[in-house]
A = this chain, B = another copy of it.
Amino acid sequence: MEENIIRHDYSVNRQDRRANLGQNSFLMWFTGLSGSGKSTIANALEHKLHELGYKTYALDGDNIRKGINKGLTFSPEDRTENIRRIAEVANLLVDSGIIVLAAFVSPYKKDRENIRGIVGNDNFVEIFVNTSLEECERRDVKGLYKKARAGEIKDFTGVNAPYEAPESPDIEIITDDLSLEQCVEAVFEKIKPKLEI
């Protein structure tokens, strides 16, 4: 069989896959405090892109924590490994031609820079979902801030673990006075030029 190996080039590369899918592929990374609205915006944007025919995938705690990152804790070291693995997964999805939306607190600057290094600058869009701690705590959709303040959750970002806000994100959404639709439109307008090959 090995004779054939030499005769043909059977490789399918990233450009071939993007052409086959009829789109460019890249990673949109939503960072922000717990309750900032990053997953909600990412999901609604994915829905909009999907309706427009784009091929998308959303990574979030639900499909990551129970799967590839099972067993990792919220310690600084494990948070770093958590983000590294998500970035590697995103990189493979981008390589497959898929537009990826990822929504994770990702509080450390160096971890987010690591993502940029893994997927490549051209394929990385950092989106800072900037909702004030006060507003996140006021909403407290999952009751986590209350628990963190009561000392029931350790290493909770914004309460007893740091959040290092992006200094120059590709996109920044100050959600406090915007509707979900406005947030989604704001991101969509910025990424529109990146969608086509």
Contacts and interface: CB of A to CB of B under 8 A. Distances in A.
Interface of A: 1-2, 4-5, 8, 10-12, 16-17, 20-21, 37, 40, 43-44, 46-47, 50, 53, 55-59, 63, 67-68, 85, 88-89, 91-93, 95-98, 118, 139, 141, 175, 178-181, 183
Given A2-B141, A4-B181, A10 B47 contact: yes
A139 to B, nearest CB: 6
Nearest to A141: B2
- Identical chains in the assembly: 2
A178 to B, nearest CB: 7
B50 A12 contact: yes
A20 B88 contact: no
A178 B3 CA distance: 12
Given A50-B20, A57-B17, A1 B40 contact: yes
A3 to B, nearest CB: 9
A93 B96 contact: yes
A57 B47 CA distance: 23
Given A17-B57, A68-B89, A93-B93, 4 more contacts: A4-B40, A4-B179, A4-B181, A57-B92
A46 B92 CA distance: 16
A119 to B, nearest CB: 11
A76 to B, nearest CB: 18
A5 to B, nearest CB: 5
A95 B175 contact: no
Nearest to A11: B43
Given A1-B179, A10-B43, A44-B10, A98 B96 contact: yes
Quick one: which of A17, A47, A92, A141 has the most chain B CB within 10 A? A92
B4 A180 contact: yes
Contacts of A43: 10-12
